[in-house]
Structure 1
C-alpha cells in the first residue's frame, strides 16, 4: 500500500477498513481537507442542516447497516448543537464516531470555554480524545472505531485540529490495517445450564429481545429458539423484527406488554429493563416471575429487580448455547395460546377503531395502509408522541434492522435525520450486496416534523428516496388531549393546519396533501414508487387522541418513572 500524502487520505483508508463508503457532514471549513480528499472517490457525503442531524444521520446509518456511522462537525460552535444527537445515539447503543474540529490556539486563561473543547461531551459519550500529531491520526481514529464498536457500542468523539487533515505524513508512515475485531465474551456454561433447567420447569416462558440482541447478530438463533421450542419473543427497539412479528412467534413489545405479566419465566436478551419495559417490575411482570438476563454489560444485569439467573456475555453466543442445552435435555416445545388470550381484548379494541371511510382520517388508517403496501424488508422509522403511540398498535416489523425510533431519550423530531441516515445506509447496503434497495418510511407528527424539516433538502441533494408521512392533527396532540382530559383547555397546544407538503416542495422534495381516506392509499403508493424524497401530509382527526387518553387498551406507551410506577401501578390494573 502506498504512503498516504495527507492525514485525510489516511483517514479514508481507515474508513474503508471499517467497510464504510458513507459519511455525514455539516458543510464548512472544519473538515475541508478531508472533504477534498473524499471528493471524487466512491464515498457518499451526506449533508445536513444542523449538527444534531449530522450525528443522528450517522446513528440511523449504523442501526440499519450494522457498521459504525461517521459524523463530521465543527467542534467549537457545533458540539452544543450536536448534544441531542450524541445522547440519542449513546442511549440507543449505536456505534458512532464523531469527528469534531478543534482549534489548538484557542486556549486562553479568561476564555468562556475550557482548555479542552471536548469537555462538554465527555459525560455523555463512551470515549473522547484529541489527536495533535498527524502521524498518530490513524492510531487515534482506529481507537475511536474500536471504542465505538466494542462491548456495549456507543459514541466515540475524536477531536482533530483543523490543519491536521491536510498535513503530509512522514515518509514511510503508511496506513496499516488496524481494524480490531471485538471478541465477544462467552457466557458461562453453568449459567446457560441453569437457564435451560428453568425453562424446563416453566409453563409460560417469555423472551424479551432488545438492541443488544440485534447488535450481536442473535436474530437467527432467536428465530430457531422460537420455532423449535415455542418460546414467544417480544421485540423492542432494534430488537424488533429479529423474529418476524407474526403474532405467533414474534410480537411487538409495546402492543403485547399486557401479556408479559402472565409469564412465569422472563428471559431478557440484550435489553435494558428501563422505563419502556416497566423496569422489569410489577405490574407489567409478575412479582413471582423468575428473571434471566443475558447482557454483554454486567452492570445492566439486575439494575432494577432481582435477576435469579444472571448471564454476562454476548447475546448471540448465549442464545446459541441455550439452543444446544435445550436440545441436549430433549426440551419439548411450548404452546403460546396464553399470549393470544391475554391480547384478545386489546386487539379487538384496536381493530374496531379507525374504520370510518367518510369522516376524518384516523392515524390507524395510515398504519393499516402501510402494512398493506410495505414489503417485509422495509425500514420503518417512528417519531412523535400521539402518532408514535398509534403506530405501535398496528405496525409489525418483519425483518432484521428494520425499526428505528427516538427512544430511549425520546427527543422528538430526531426521527427525520434518523430516516435520512437509514436511507443512506440502505443505499450502501444495496450497492455492496447487489440486493434491492430497501424502502425507508418515516411516520411522524406535525409537531415533531417541525424540528428538522430542512433535512429533506439533504435527502434531495444526496438523491435519497425517503417517504415521510405526517399525521397532521394541527396540534401538539398528546399535550392537547391530556390538557383537555384533565383541565378542559388546549392552551399553548394548537399549531394549526400547516402546509407541510409545501415546506417539502420548498426544499426540493415532493409533497402531497391528503384530506380524505379514499386518497390515502394512492398517495402512499405513489410516494413509495417515486424513488424521491416525498412528504405525504395527512390531515388526521384532532379528537382521535382523547379516547386513547381514557382507554388503557389503546395506550401502547406509558410515561412514568420508577417511583410513580411503584406508587400507582401496583394498585391499578394495567389493561
Structure 2
C-alpha cells in the first residue's frame, strides 16, 4: 500500500505539475524522495516567497496547480507573501508547510506556530494532512485551487504522517472533475443581445475571467462583430493581440482612459474581477452589462444586468445573435493609443525608461514572454510592452508585489521552455529576488533580466515629489550589476544608450544564458507620466 508522500507525488504529477519548488525542512525529505522516484523535479529556491511565486505563475499559465513547500516556523512565515500573491492574483497553488508531529505540536514551543491560522485569511481552503483521508484531501485541494476564481490551498504536514500507509478509497472519484459545459440556450441570450444592439458605441472591458475560461479568441471575435474597442486589465495583456486595430490598451484606473470610456454609450465587462480595479468608486455613469463566469459579490461595478456562465459559450452565442456593429471602435482605439504615447513621451536627459521599452520590444522576438515587477516603471511597461497572446505578459496586479519579476520569469521558463523569457524590474525589486539568479543558472532556466536602474525606489520618490515632500530614504545606487550577475554564474552588462541596450539584448538571445542587462535610465519624467496617466 502506498505511503502518504507517494500518494501526494502521484497526484501532483497526474494533475500536470511535474515539479515541486521551495526551500525544504527535515520533514520534507520523504516527499522530495517520492518525487525523485517519479522523475519529478525538485527546484531549490533561495527564498520561500520566490518559490511560491514561481509555482503560482506556473499555475496561472498552465491551469495545473503549482506546488511549493517550506519548513515549519520561519520557512512558513517567509512564504506568506507568496500566498498573498496566489490569493490576490488568482493563481492555483498548493502550499505545503512542514509541521511537528501531533504530540510535539501539542506541547512544543520552539518553532511552533499555528500555521493554518497564519495562512487562513489568504487560503481558499486549508487542512492538516492525515494518511487516513489523504485521497479525499488531495481531491478537494486540487478542485478548490483550480475552481473559478483560482487560488491557494494549504497542507499543514505533520512529520509523523509522511510515511504512514495511505488508506485507499473504495470508489475513488477522478482527481480533477470531468466537467461538461453545455452551450447556453440562444433564446435565453436574446434579451441581452437586443440590449447590446441598441448601443451605437459599445466598449469592452476584459478581465481575468477571460483567462480562466480560455476565452480570448471568443472575446476578439465578439469585439470584431460589434466593432467595439477593447480595454484589458494589466494581467490580460495579449487577450487581444496588441497590434489588432480594436486593441485600445490597459485599464489602469487612471484619468487617461476616461476620455475613451466616456465616449461610449454602453460598457460591456467580460470576466472582470473587482480585484483588478483601483480601490475607488466606479467613475462612469454609462450603462454597464456584465458577462462573467462567477457572480459579482463585491458590487464594485454597477451593471444593470449580469449574465453568469462559461464565457466561451456565452460569447459564442452572443456573437451569433449580434448583427455587425458600427466602425467607431478602430478610430477610438487608435486615438487612445496615441494619447498614451503622447503622455509617456516626456523629455529626458538620458535613456528614458519608455524608450528602453521600445528598444526591447523591437529587438526581442514576437513570442517573448515578459514579466514585470511593481514600481514606478510598471505603469509605462504595461503600456509600452506589446504582447500578442494570453498569458504572455505576467505581473502582480491584485497584490502589486515587488520582487515578482524574476521568480515569475522562472515559472514562465518552466511553462514555455522553448520561448525567450524577459523579466523587467527596477533596481529595488531586483534586489528583493536577486538570489534567484543562482536558481536560474543552477536549474538551467535561462532568462533575461532587464534592470531599469534609476538608483532609487522611484515610485516613492514620485509620491514624495507630488506631495511636495523632500526626497528622503529611497536611494538604492552603488550596485555593480555585472559583478553581481557574474558571481551567480550569469552574464552581466550595464548600458546607458539605445545602441548599447540593443546590442546587449541581441547577445543575450544568441548565448541563451541567464543575462542581467542593467539599463541606466533617467526617471525624471515619471511624475509627469503619473500625472497624465493616473490619479495618485
TM-score normalised over the length of structure 1:
0.85
Match of 2:310 among 307, 310, 314: 314
2:79 alignment partner, SS class: helix
Counterpart-to-counterpart distance in 2, 1:450 and 1:115: 29
Deviations along 1:267-289, one digit per CA (max 9) or x if unpaired, are: 1111123563575722xx3x1x1
Aligned match of 2:366: 376
1:304 aligned residue (296, 300, 305): 300
Q: After the TM superposition, which of the residue ranges 315-324 and 471-480 deviates more from structure 2?
A: 315-324
* Partner-residue secondary structure (3-state), 1:298: coil
Q: Residues 120 and 277 (structure 1 numbering): CA distance in 2 closer, same or farther, change over 3 Å?
A: closer
Structure 1 pair 485–124 and aligned structure 2 pair: CA distance change class (3 A): closer
Q: 1:62 to 1:363 in 2, by over 3 A?
A: same
In 2, Cα distance between equivalents of 1:517 and 1:262? 38
Q: Which residue in the other structure is 1:433 paired with? A: none
1:8 positional shift: 2.3
- The question of 1:197 aligning with 2:197 is answered no
> 1:171 & 1:276 partners in 2: Cα distance?
45
What secondary structure does 1:495 align onto? coil
Alpha-carbon separation, structure 2, partners of 1:470 and 1:213: 31
Which residue of 243, 246, 261 corresponds with 1:246?
243
Which stretch shows the higher mean deviation, 175-184 or 149-158? 175-184
Structure 2 unaligned residues grouped into runs of 5+: none
Q: How many residues align?
A: 530
Other structure's SS at 2:26 match? coil
Q: Deviations over 1:215-260 (max 9, x none)?
A: 1111121121123332222221332211111251223314773422
SS of alignment partner, residue 449 of structure 1: helix
Question: Equivalent residues in 2 for 1:24-103 (5 A)?
Answer: 24-39=21-36, 41-103=38-100
Alpha-carbon distance in 2 for matches of 1:342, 1:540? 26
* Residues 135 and 168 in structure 2, CA contact (< 8 A), matched pair in contact too: no
**How far apart, in 2, do the equivalents of 1:312 and 1:177 lie?**
26
Task: Tell me whether 1:484 sits opposite 2:485 in the alignment.
Answer: no
Structure 1 166/468 Cα, relative in aligned 2: closer, same or farther at 3 Å? same
Tell me what 1:269 maps to.
270
8 Å Cα contact 1:74/1:100 also seen in 2: yes
Shift of 1:92: 1.2
**Pairs within 5 Å for 1:438-477:** 438-477=419-458
Q: Which residue of 2 aligns with 1:324?
A: 320
Residues 376-430 of structure 1 show CA distances to partners (whole Å, capped at 9, x for unaligned) of 3221111131111221231121112111112111121122222221212223xxx
1:318 Cα shift?
2.1
Alpha-carbon contact 2:492-2:515 (below 8 Å) kept? yes
| Equivalent of 1:142 in 139, 143, 153 | 139
Question: Which residue is 2:228 aligned to?
Answer: 231
Rounded to whole Å, the distance in 1 between the matches of 2:365 and 2:188 is 39
Q: Which residue of 2 aligns with 1:506?
A: 487
Change over 3 Å in CA distance of 1:71–1:159 after alignment to 2 = same
Name which of structure 1's ranges 191-200 and 461-470 shifts more when overlaid on structure 2. Answer: 191-200
Aligned to 1:401: 391
TM-score (norm 2): 0.91
**Which residue does the alignment assign to 1:159?**
156
Deviates more, 1:213-222 or 1:31-40: 31-40
Change (3 A) 1:87 1:422: same
In structure 1, the partner of 2:376 is 386
- Paired residue for 1:340? 334
Q: Would you say the 8 A contact 1:385–1:445 is kept in 2?
A: yes
The answer to whether the Cα contact below 8 Å between 2:13 and 2:40 also exists between their aligned partners in 1 is: no
2:522 corresponds in structure 1 to: 541
Question: What value does the CA root-mean-square deviation take over the aligned residues?
Answer: 2.7
Question: Hey, what's the Cα distance between the residues in 2 that align with 1:491 and 1:160?
Answer: 45
Aligned to 1:432: none
Contact 1:384 1:447 in 2 (8 A): no
What CA deviation, in whole Å up to 9, does each residue of 1:47-68 have, x standing for no partner? 2111111111111111222221
1:290 aligned to 2:287?
yes
Gapped runs of 5+ residues in structure 1?
A: 428-436, 560-575
TM superposition shift of 1:28: 3.1
Q: C-alpha separation between the residues in 2 aligned to 1:535 and 1:349? A: 29
Q: Post-superposition shift, 1:459?
A: 1.3
Residue matched to 1:522:
503
Deviation at 1:462, TM superposition (A): 1.0
Q: Is the 8 Å Cα contact of residues 208 and 267 (structure 1) preserved in structure 2?
A: yes
Q: SS in structure 2 opposite 1:360?
A: coil
Alpha-carbon distance in structure 2 between the residues aligned to 1:558 and 1:188:
43
User: SS where residue 45 of structure 1 aligns?
Assistant: strand
* CA shift digits 1:434-462 (9 cap, x unpaired): xxx12111101011111121111111121
